[in-house]
Amino acid sequence: MKLGLKDKVAIVTGSGRGIGAVTARALAEEGAKVVITDIDPETTEATRAAFVADGYAAIGAVCDVTDETQVNALVARTIEEFGAVHILVNNAGFPRDNYITKMPEQDWDAVVGVILKGAYNCSRAVVPHFMEQNWGRVINISSRAYLGNPGQTNYAAAKAGIIGFTRALGMEQGRFNVTVNAIAPGFIATDMIEALPNYDRIKSRALAMNTVPRLGNERDIANGVVFLASDAAEYISGETLHITGGRYG
């Protein structure tokens, strides 16, 4: 199978740590030049430095995906330093769980903002370049939570919204050889998840519902991203790849 990622340039949002960092590394291992970008300067720089120390081509840039000006500057810098951009992974995102009666407006806005506005800002900044070079990949990190979880009206709405976004943008971009796909991870044992107050309950529930009897890890998601970014996936667009260990409910 030809992956064809050598010298492709990939921006992975929220890649200072967690799924984003492992995804950026997986793309780099396949030969892509990667842009590590996150809101936290320390994690951004630490991850970039680790990539460069391991011999990968990587730049680091602080960027809040909800800020259009920062996103445009990020894409301009990527093109200035790496000459092009080919792959965008819209990974930045977080939950702010609460029942709706207790959910403050800022938690609704923050979650919907980072996931949907972030994907809008980043996609809007890269797509003109993709169209011009007649090649591009947008990969959006959704969540199995798009099916709904109590306490996650904001997160479920945003993660379901990103699936509609994926289909619509895929329809717009197919004729430019640009594919747009989503990944819906199940329960992935990252810092974000381990910090949740009900972590133990979520973990045992996930293990009971998975058909593959283990928790997911960041590499499981990164492998899906690498495939969707590759030439091998050139005929797949508008899809949502569930990486859940076989869990659907």
Q: Where are the beta strands (DSSP E) in the chain?
A: 9-13, 33-38, 58-62, 87-90, 136-141, 178-185, 240-243
Alpha-carbon distances of 57 from 17, 36, 75, 142, rounded to whole Å: 18, 10, 16, 27
Distance CA 39, CA 71 (A): 11
| Candidate segments 39-47, 49-57, 130-138, 146-154, binder of ligand NDP by CB under 6 A | 39-47
Paired tokens of 55? 């011999």
- For ligand NDP, give the closer residue by CB, 108 or 187: 187
* Contact status: 123 vs ligand NDP (CB under 6 A): no
8 A C-beta contact, residue 99 and residue 150 = yes
- For ligand NDP, give the closer residue by CB, 24 or 39: 39
* Contact status: 13 vs ligand NDP (CB under 6 A): yes
- Report the site for ligand NDP in 88-117 (rule: CB under 6 A): 91-94, 114
For ligand NDP (CB under 6 A), the number of binding residues is 28
Active site residues: 155
Contact footprint for ligand NDP (CB under 6 A): 13-14, 16-20, 38-40, 43, 64-66, 91-94, 114, 141, 143, 185, 187-188, 190-193
